[in-house]
Amino acid sequence: MRESDAVSAWLVQAAAEPADQWHKRPRLPRLLRCGITFDLVLTDTAAFRTAAALLEQYEQPVGPALTLPAIGKAAILVPQGIADKWPALIASLAWPPEAQRPLCLGQGHTIQIPGLAARGGVSLSRWVVPPEATGPYPPLLTSAGALARCLMEARSPANELNRGPNSPTGYRR
């Protein structure tokens, strides 16, 4: 996959390291700071896959998202500034106190992303939904409110996507 100029410019804003080598080495991972152009929601990979299927079912866009296989988590990019509002958003959904809550990371946190031209092999993270830009505009990010509701719904045993042979085995866009 070739990285568009709009995606590169958007990623460079959050670069935690010099980004002048990105086009020379598009396969290398990159370290990005949260809270600059995006915040990051961390949740279980299985919950993300179900939530992503629900978002598509509800015709809500699913923006850039990664899996972190070593820890069984997914990282979903949401608009910058959501980290401050996330605890109240989750509380408004009456999230069960005993259930593990998805976290939202903002300023002061970083994430290593794979290069957009990365080949297979060992990586700390893998794009499930790579960032894509339309024209000169930055990538569309997942709505935090819709994501939180779908993550809550994904937890429900009554959710038809969690039952039987039609249970999603992986999110495919």
Is the pLDDT higher at 12 or at 111? 111
Q: Which residue has the tokens 């410019």?
A: 9
Yes or no: say if 62 and 75 are a contact pair by the CB < 8 Å rule: no
Q: Does any domain span residue 160?
A: no
Q: Does any domain span residue 34?
A: yes
Average pLDDT, the chain: 85
Give the per-residue pLDDT at 36: 95
Q: Which residues pair with 14 in a beta bridge?
A: none
Q: Which residue, among 125, 131, 128, has the nearest Cα to 12 in the 3D structure?
A: 131
Tokens of 65: 């998202």
Q: How many CB atoms lie within 10 A of CB 22?
A: 19
Q: Which residue, among 154, 141, 147, 145, has the nearest Cα to 11 in the 3D structure?
A: 141
Q: Does any domain span residue 84?
A: yes
DSSP 8-state secondary structure symbol assigned to residue 98: T
Q: What is the mean pLDDT of residues 119-135?
A: 82
Q: What H or E segment, with its residue span, contains residue 155?
A: helix 144-155
Q: What is the mean pLDDT of residues 126-140?
A: 89
Q: Range of 68's domain?
A: 5-155
Q: Does any domain span residue 107?
A: yes
Cα separation, 15 vs 33, whole angstroms: 6
Number of structural domains found in the chain: 1
Q: What is the mean pLDDT of residues 7-23?
A: 80
Say yes or no to pLDDT of 161 above 60: no
Q: Does any domain span residue 171?
A: no
Q: Does any domain span residue 83?
A: yes
Yes or no: say if 23 and 8 are a contact pair by the CB < 8 Å rule: yes
pLDDT band of 95, cuts 50, 70, 90: confident
Q: Does any domain span residue 77?
A: yes
Cα separation, 100 vs 95, whole angstroms: 9
Q: Does any domain span residue 136?
A: yes
Is the pLDDT higher at 167 or at 9? 9
Q: State pLDDT tens for residues 26-74.
A: 678 889 999 999 999 999 999 999 999 999 999 999 999 999 999 999 9
